[in-house]
Amino acid sequence: MEDTPMPEPLWRAVHQLVSETVQQCQEVLRYTEPDQAYDWQRMTLYRATDAADTMDMASMLIAAYCQHAGMSKDKLESYLQLSQQHTRAAGPTGADRAHVAGLLSEDPPAGADRPGLVRMRYGRGERQAEKAHRPEDDP
pLDDT tens sequence across 43-82: 999 999 999 999 999 999 999 999 999 999 999 999 999 8
Q: What is the pLDDT of residue 137?
A: 65
pLDDT in tens, 83-133: 888 888 888 888 888 899 999 989 888 877 788 888 888 889 989 988 887
Contact between residue 55 and residue 17 where contact means Cβ atoms under 8 Å apart? yes
Long-range contacts of 81-88 (CB under 8 A, 24+ apart): 88/49, 88/52
* Top-confidence residue, 135 or 95: 95
For the chain, the three-class secondary structure string (H helix, E strand, C coil) is: CCCCCCCHHHHHHHHHHHHHHHHHHHHHHHCCCHHHCCCHHHHHHHHHHHHHHHHHHHHHHHHHHHHHCCCCHHHHHHHCCHHHCCCHHHCCCHHHHHHHHHHCCCCCCCCCCCCCHHHHHHHHHHHHHHHHCCCCCCC
Residue 29: the pLDDT is 96
The tens digit of pLDDT for each residue in 2-54 reads 688 999 999 999 999 999 999 999 999 999 999 988 899 999 999 999 999 99
| CA 101 – CA 53 distance, rounded (Å) | 27
Position 92 scores a pLDDT of 87
Flag whether the pTM goes above 0.75: yes
